[in-house]
Amino acid sequence: MATYAIWNNKGGVGKSYLTFQLATEYARQNGNKRVLVIDLCPQANSSSMLLGGMFEGEKHLNEIHEKTPRNTISGYMDDRILSPYVSPNSGASYLTKVAIYNDNIPDNLHLVVGDELLELQASKVYGATNPGPQDAWRIVHIWIRDLIADIKKSWNQDDLCIFIDCNPSFTIYTELALTAAERLLIPFSADGSSQRAVRAVLSLVYGVRRHQGEPQSEFFLNSQRYRMSLPGIHMYIGNRLTQMNSSSASAFKTIVNEIGDEIWDVWQSNPASFCLHPAGASTPGSRRAFKHMTDGGTKRSRR
């Protein structure tokens, strides 16, 4: 079990939907384990889906947002803006048991509800990274790790399955999510902008340069500077590929192949950025074996 961030630097690829599906299904199959979703996206789409979907979910979300104190991720962020460098250990008070609002969701699924206030808080969070103590950047970037630690402590459980839904853009709270995550799930769809976003993830998080002399992100450089661990790439998820009709099938296959080729190149040059296979499967040793692995995924999802 691990902490997974679901992120791609592109909107609409299914981050929230996959967060909802993965967390719910995992909770259903593991009724004796608590599962946690942290919604770090101001659109709060995964929260809305969990809380009942289009109408019910939005209604419940509004109810939660109207309460004082605010029982959402923004309530926790407010605590941290007031106490940026010393954890208030208040994380566990921002949990919502989803089944209270939506009885279709297993009892063991808990949520830190998303909140549009995150957008307004972002500049304050960023402001706390500088000035401040010498390692202010590092301390602020572990706020979500602190939140998770608070929850684990209150549940007296160290081994949790946690899903963090992220905003598409590389905002400060996306950075906080990535710092908290051990594994990264990258959904993509088969279009050119999704392909560019896959590249952007590699450069923004792992400092992968496509051209010599290209600047590297402050996030990558600071993570190196403070020796902070980055999430390992756990999985690229081709989402909604089945919606491609036969006329666009070859175009979509070309893009999927190109994305596969890029991932292979990164795998060659930066294998340390990837996670070990959880089932212990051996790593692909050639482009062909790698391609077979990604093709297999494509065929399965097109059935």
Q: Which residues bind ligand ATP (CB under 6 A)?
A: 11-17, 41, 43, 45, 168, 239-240
C-beta atoms surrounding 45 within 10 Å: 19
Task: State which residue, 71 or 171, has the beta carbon closest to ligand ATP.
Answer: 171
Return the structure tokens found at 126. Answer: 């960023």
What is the amino acid identity at position 219?
A: F
12 binds, among Mg ion, ligand ATP, none (CB under 5 to 8 A by kind): ligand ATP
Taking the C-alpha atoms of residue 276 and residue 32, their distance in angstroms, rounded to an integer, is: 26
CA separation, residue 110 to residues 51, 176, 180 (Å): 11, 20, 17
Return the structure tokens found at 128. Answer: 């706390």
168 binds, among Mg ion, ligand ATP, none (CB under 5 to 8 A by kind): ligand ATP
Task: State which residue, 145 or 240, has the beta carbon closest to ligand ATP.
Answer: 240
96 binds, among Mg ion, ligand ATP, none (CB under 5 to 8 A by kind): none
Distance in Å from the first CA to the final CA of the chain: 29
Taking the C-alpha atoms of residue 101 and residue 86, their distance in angstroms, rounded to an integer, is: 33
Task: State which residue, 71 or 239, has the beta carbon closest to ligand ATP.
Answer: 239
Q: What x/- string results for residues 25 through 64 when contact with Mg ion is judged by CB under 5 A?
A: --------------------x-------------------
Report the alpha-carbon angle 96-83-161, nearest 5: 35
Which SS3 state, helix, strand or coil, does residue 187 take?
strand
3 binds, among ligand ATP, Mg ion, none (CB under 5 to 8 A by kind): none
Q: Rounded to the nearest whole angstrom, what is the least distance from the CB of residue 126 to ligand ATP in the complex?
A: 20
Measuring CA to CA, which residue among 55, 74, 37, 16 is closest to residue 164? Answer: 37
Number of residues that bind Mg ion (CB under 5 A): 3
Contacts of 10 (CB under 8 A, 6+ apart): 168, 188, 193, 194, 196, 197
Q: Rounded to the nearest whole angstrom, what is the least distance from the CB of residue 211 to Mg ion in the complex?
A: 31
DSSP H or E stretch at residue 295: helix 287-302
Task: State which residue, 108 or 194, has the beta carbon closest to Mg ion.
Answer: 194
Task: State which residue, 15 or 65, has the beta carbon closest to Mg ion.
Answer: 15
Task: State which residue, 16 or 71, has the beta carbon closest to ligand ATP.
Answer: 16
Taking the C-alpha atoms of residue 255 and residue 225, their distance in angstroms, rounded to an integer, is: 35
Q: Rounded to the nearest whole angstrom, what is the least distance from the CB of residue 251 to ligand ATP in the complex?
A: 19
Find out whether 88 and 80 touch, Cβ atoms under 8 Å. yes
- Name the residue number minimizing CB distance to Mg ion: 16
17 binds, among ligand ATP, Mg ion, none (CB under 5 to 8 A by kind): ligand ATP
Task: State which residue, 19 or 87, has the beta carbon closest to ligand ATP.
Answer: 19
DSSP one-letter code for 248: G
11 binds, among Mg ion, ligand ATP, none (CB under 5 to 8 A by kind): ligand ATP
Question: Does 16 contact Mg ion by CB under 5 A?
Answer: yes
